[in-house]
A and B are shown apart, each in its own frame.
Chain A
Amino acid sequence: DAGITQSPRHKVTETGTPVTLRCHQTENHRYMYWYRQDPGHGLRLIHYSYGVKDTDKGEVSDGYSVSRSKTEDFLLTLESATSSQTSVYFCAISLDYLGETQYFGPGTRLLVL
């Protein structure tokens, strides 16, 4: 497996609280992505990054923000968590944008009560 870690792996939080998920890679890949996975929807892109401090919105970006201050770290923040953001969140990396072989991290299960 590619060197991708996500933290925390599981989190339970309450509606209205801020939550930050971290993705860390040791592969020095340029592109990093945050996806959410929900039953019946497959994977949906939230935000992606194409370099340090360079980020852009994906398909379902509302309610989420991201930051990338170092090549190896990509943070996803839910400013004020809602129950609709209960999901499994996957980070992915690739050499080229949406390129052949996106490597996925192990995922973070988030429950918003």
Chain B
Amino acid sequence: GQQVMQIPQYQHVQEGEDFTTYCNSSTTLSNIQWYKQRPGGHPVFLIQLVKSGEVKKQKRLTFQFGEAKKNSSLHITATQTTDVGTYFCAGRRNNDMRFGAGTRLTVKP
């Protein structure tokens, strides 16, 4: 069955450093979605990528979808304390969507 692997599991950075989380699927995806979950909160939708090689930006966040549509990344430039939380990818293939286990980001001021 479809599997979505996400690395790293944890990342601790100093405020101002960059951060990247990677998502890899065992199968070609129809699309991939990214979510952010603050500590004690619920997942909040960030973005959806659909096209091969697609790159989208939201302020300091850059999202990429691989050419083969099997991997994706989320890069945060110059992290801030407000970026703390767990970032999840969710890969969709046909009528099945699987979430990665998430990358938990902590930021030291």
Smallest Cβ distance from B51 to chain A, in angstroms? 14
**Quick one: which of A41, A42, A102, A105 contacts B45, CB cutoff 8 A?**
A102
* A107 close to B95 (CB less than 8 A): no
* A98 close to B92 (CB less than 8 A): yes
Q: Which of B30-83 contact A (CB under 8 A)?
A: 33, 41-45, 48
A45 and B48 alpha carbons, distance in the complex (Å)? 19
Chain B residues whose CB sits within 8 angstroms of the CB of A44 once the complex forms: 99
A102 and B45 alpha carbons, distance in the complex (Å)? 7
Chain B residues whose CB sits within 8 angstroms of the CB of A41 once the complex forms: 101
- Does any Cβ of A come within 8 Å of B97's Cβ? yes
Given A104-B44, A105-B42: A43 touches B99 (CB 8 Å cut-off): yes
Size of the A side of the interface (Cβ < 8 Å), in residues, is 18
Smallest Cβ distance from A12 to chain B, in angstroms? 18
* A43 close to B42 (CB less than 8 A): no
Chain B residues whose CB sits within 8 angstroms of the CB of A59 once the complex forms: 96, 98
Chain A residues whose CB sits within 8 angstroms of the CB of B43 once the complex forms: 43, 90, 102, 104
One digit per residue, 1 when the CB lies within 8 angstroms of any chain A CB and 0 when it does not, for chain B 1-21 equals: 000001001000000000000
**Quick one: which of A90, A98, A100 contacts B42, CB cutoff 8 A?**
A90
A100 and B46 alpha carbons, distance in the complex (Å)? 10
Chain B residues whose CB sits within 8 angstroms of the CB of A103 once the complex forms: 45
Chain B residues whose CB sits within 8 angstroms of the CB of A106 once the complex forms: 41-42
15 A-B residue pairs with CB within 8 Å: A41-B101, A42-B6, A42-B99, A42-B101, A42-B102, A43-B88, A43-B90, A43-B99, A90-B42, A98-B97, A100-B48, A101-B48, A102-B33, A102-B43, A104-B42
